[in-house]
Amino acid sequence: FFNYLTVNTANALNIHQQVVRFYKKLTAQQTNNYKRRPSCLLVNPQTYSFISMLCIPKIRVAVRNSCCRTYFSTLQQSAPHEDSHFILILGKPGGGKGTISNKILEDFPRLHHMSTGDILRANVRDGTPLGKEAKSYMDEGKLVPDSLMIDLVVEDATPHMEEGESLLLDGFPRTLGQAKALDEVVNVDLVINLDIPTETIVDRIADRWIHPASGRIYSYSYKPPKIRGLDDETGEPLLQRDDDKPEKVRTRLQAYDEVTAPLVDFYGTRGVLETFQGTKSDLIYPEVKQWLEERTNN
């Protein structure tokens, strides 16, 4: 496999076809051995440079009109560490995904947490080329395309994987289409699926009340106000957001189940997904931790 190659545009498809033919001849074991070697060519129309991407089990050619971006260093010594992993965490909103993620990051210090929402906002705020492209869609009231979101994820992942870190991606993919698109460019090898009963989440969220002016949040089950219905500091009435009312929560969770069920099947058939069931994060997490330790040799 090559690390860096410069040719003219006329040879692009020819090289791509040769790489594809080579890959198809590999046995399953050989394919696994090559999974962290270059397997994607990024074409720069101006310089006709082909930059190899790493940690990608499939082949594709991406032609960009913008300046060439090196997602992963072309130097051999900068290749991702063989023990690095690309991990996803799936779970219903309000199901403790944030709590579990924080516990994972505490116990697995070489994991870098990636939130697609945070990545998008940071790129837009900093005015990066990808951020400007995303903002153009947002200004028109359109959704940021999946391909652009994946570019943002890969670019953010690059320096961390070059340092041998593993990645924990939260918030993407959310649909089967997004999962398939991500599968074209990233080797997702571990998926944590948190399966929390709907009624547990409904009770948890419906129990949440806020003080609108300050944003203080109370829960009658674990963080109740000193006086029922009143803010501790101002004595002003507490309110429940419309989205936190039981009927709204159930509708939202039903929609989540319908959209993500194929996603769970998608990763389940690949043998990379493990489902963890329960009602309390403190009881679920030890199982998650043990599974991650076994799979990552931590």
Catalytic residues: 97, 174, 208, 241, 252
Q: Which of 187, 174, 147 is nearest to 272 (CA)?
A: 187
Q: Are 283 and 204 in contact (CB under 8 A)?
A: no
288 neighbors 294 (Cβ within 8 angstroms): no
* Type of residue numbered 210: I
Query: Could you tell me whether strands 216-219 and 208-211 are parallel, antiparallel, or unpaired per DSSP bridges?
Result: antiparallel
- Give all strands of the β-sheet with 166-170 in edge-to-edge order: 111-115, 166-170, 86-91, 190-195, 273-277
Q: Are 70 and 156 contacting, i.e. CB atoms less than 8 angstroms apart?
A: no
Helix (H) or strand (E) run with residue 114 in it: strand 111-115
Beta bridge partners of 87: 168, 190
The total of other beta-carbon atoms located within 10 Å of residue 104's CB is: 19
Of 229, 92, 80, 83, the closest CA to residue 160 belongs to 80
115, exposed or middle or buried, with CB in 10 Å at 0-12, 13-18, 19+?
A: middle
Question: Residue 75 is which amino acid?
Answer: L
DSSP label of 230:
B
Q: Encoding tokens for residue 40? A: 């994607």
